[in-house]
Amino acid sequence: AVRDTAEEEGCAVYLVGGFVRDLLLFFPTQDLDFVVEGSGGQFARALIQRMPDGKLTQHEKFGTAQITFPDGSHLDVASTRWEYYSFPGALPQVEESCLRDDLFRRDFTINSMAICLNTEHFGELVDYYGGKRDLQQGKIRFLHNLSFIDDPTRMLRAIRFAERYHFSLAKETLEALYTAIESGVLAKLSVERFTEEILHIFKEINYLAMGQTLIRSGLFKAWFGDDYAWNFNLEDEQDSADWSLNTRWLISISDMDSPVIEKVLDRVILNRSLRDETMTFVSLRESLSNPLSLNEMDALLNKVPKEVVMVLTRDERFSKLLTEYLEASQKINMSLNGKTLIQMGVKQGPEIGKILDQVRRAWLQGRIHTLEEEKGIVRH
């Protein structure tokens, strides 16, 4: 469809960026990025005619468009353009330009290759900056030495790609990374963009190794203001494959004192669920330090997301207590709820909540074991 639309519209179209990199590496990839020499908007509007399932969103300010499909996949269309930065760390401004310039504005050589999709040159690789050589040699190399100053998120991206593919940073790129960190260029980066990049890192399979590099390079110290007790323990590597993003985040801060966690939270903007779980984690750590009965534990933990409890269980101070509680809570097999109680003749009102609490407690303490016994308590 892309090739036909390109022919029809008479413009040159290329696949670019991460897709080309991963294709050459035989690495699984999903996102398709196209660059059109000419008007990306016009091309996208013509393309969508051939893709009845797709939904088109245009970002005129950036000269880009996105087509999303019902299964959640999407493809991005950009027109060749030149982005310049009004100040380091700001969002880029966009002007029309040619493919070579478009590729030069990218972060690393391995991300600066394109594949032509027009019939005459179909499948030809466009590699102005030595991306293929760097892929073969396993190097992350910037395109010019102001790259990190232009956009400090590239520092985090460099670390992410290096660890993801087990590559290393080319000598000048590594030196520039250290210079950029020392020169305080991170201060120009917005908290939003930093958070976005950090969350990309936490979603990577080997995020633990990336976390270690973020500490070792001094990047985390430069951003957060001090060397905090981040927990990126490589011994967790196997288990971490099954951890959700929230679990990974909570574990990474789990060795920090509460005041330190507060300082960390000042330097990232987390979504609601991540922020709430972090706060819950901190407050439960305080509460669990006091002696608690099974019922009190249940009242505290009943509605807490599983991942928060799981991370707390890793703490030696609470592991015995929590394991006991979790075992007891597994016995709870409540069939009753407000509706069934009303059907059994209980009057609507605060009484219902009280009865449900009592039944839950009976399960928890092992006083009842069957649904019959459960009903028995209510009748009683």
Is 94 or 250 the residue whose CB approaches ligand ATP more closely? 94
What is the enclosing helix (H) or strand (E) of 232?
none
Sole window of 150-158, 167-175, 261-269, 291-299 interacting with ligand ATP (rule: CB under 6 A): 150-158
Question: At which residue do the structure tokens 């009943």 appear?
Answer: 302
Q: Under the criterion CB under 6 A, does residue 5 sit at the interface with ligand ATP?
A: no
Is 102 or 298 the residue whose CB approaches ligand ATP more closely? 102
290-297 contacts at long range (C-beta below 8 A, 24 or more positions apart): 292/321, 294/324, 294/325, 294/328, 294/364, 294/365, 295/361, 295/364, 295/365, 297/321, 297/325
Q: Under the criterion CB under 6 A, does residue 154 sit at the interface with ligand ATP?
A: yes
List binders of ligand ATP among 109-128 (CB under 6 A). 111
Q: Under the criterion CB under 6 A, does residue 360 sit at the interface with ligand ATP?
A: no
Q: For ligand ATP, how many residues bind (rule: CB under 6 A)? A: 10
Sole window of 34-42, 149-157, 242-250, 328-336 interacting with ligand ATP (rule: CB under 6 A): 149-157
Is 106 or 360 the residue whose CB approaches ligand ATP more closely? 106
Among 79, 109, 153, 217, binds ligand ATP (CB under 6 A): 153
Among 1, 4, 8, 31, binds ligand ATP (CB under 6 A): 31
d(CA 329, CA 211) in angstroms, rounded, equals: 35
Q: Is 378 in contact with 355 (CB distance < 8 Å)? A: yes
Q: What are phi and psi of 167, to 5 degrees?
A: -100, 175
Q: Under the criterion CB under 6 A, does residue 248 sit at the interface with ligand ATP?
A: no
Q: Under the criterion CB under 6 A, does residue 106 sit at the interface with ligand ATP?
A: yes
Q: Is 18 in contact with 33 (CB distance < 8 Å)? A: yes
11, 15, 168, 283 from 138: Cα distances, Å: 34, 22, 6, 45
Among 127, 151, 307, 374, binds ligand ATP (CB under 6 A): 151
Which of 203, 198, 202, 232 has the alpha carbon at shortest distance from 215?
Answer: 232
CB of 107 to ligand ATP, least distance (A): 4
DSSP string, 74-132: EEEEEESEEEE-SSTTSPPEEEE--HHHHHHTSSBGGG--EEE-SGGGTT-EE-SS-HH
What is the enclosing helix (H) or strand (E) of 184?
none
Residue nearest to ligand ATP (CB): 18
Is 33 or 134 the residue whose CB approaches ligand ATP more closely? 33
Sole window of 148-156, 247-255, 326-334, 366-374 interacting with ligand ATP (rule: CB under 6 A): 148-156
d(CA 212, CA 229) in angstroms, rounded, equals: 11
CB of 187 to ligand ATP, least distance (A): 17
Two structure tokens written together for 343: 């059907």
Among 9, 18, 165, 365, binds ligand ATP (CB under 6 A): 18
Q: Beta strand pairing status for 168-169 and 139-140? A: parallel
d(CA 203, CA 193) in angstroms, rounded, equals: 16
CB of 20 to ligand ATP, least distance (A): 8
Q: How many CB atoms are located within 10 Å of the residue 252 CB?
A: 22
Sole window of 106-114, 284-292, 335-343, 348-356 interacting with ligand ATP (rule: CB under 6 A): 106-114
CB of 51 to ligand ATP, least distance (A): 20
Among 2, 11, 14, 33, binds ligand ATP (CB under 6 A): 33
Name the residue type at position 168.
S
Is 12 or 356 the residue whose CB approaches ligand ATP more closely? 12
Two structure tokens written together for 21: 């990199």
Two structure tokens written together for 102: 């478009």
CB of 22 to ligand ATP, least distance (A): 7
CB of 368 to ligand ATP, least distance (A): 52
Q: Is 67 in contact with 85 (CB distance < 8 Å)? A: no
d(CA 122, CA 127) in angstroms, rounded, equals: 15
Q: Under the criterion CB under 6 A, does residue 17 sit at the interface with ligand ATP?
A: yes
Q: Under the criterion CB under 6 A, does residue 88 sit at the interface with ligand ATP?
A: no
What residues make contact with ligand ATP under the rule CB under 6 A?
17-18, 31, 33, 106-107, 111, 151, 153-154
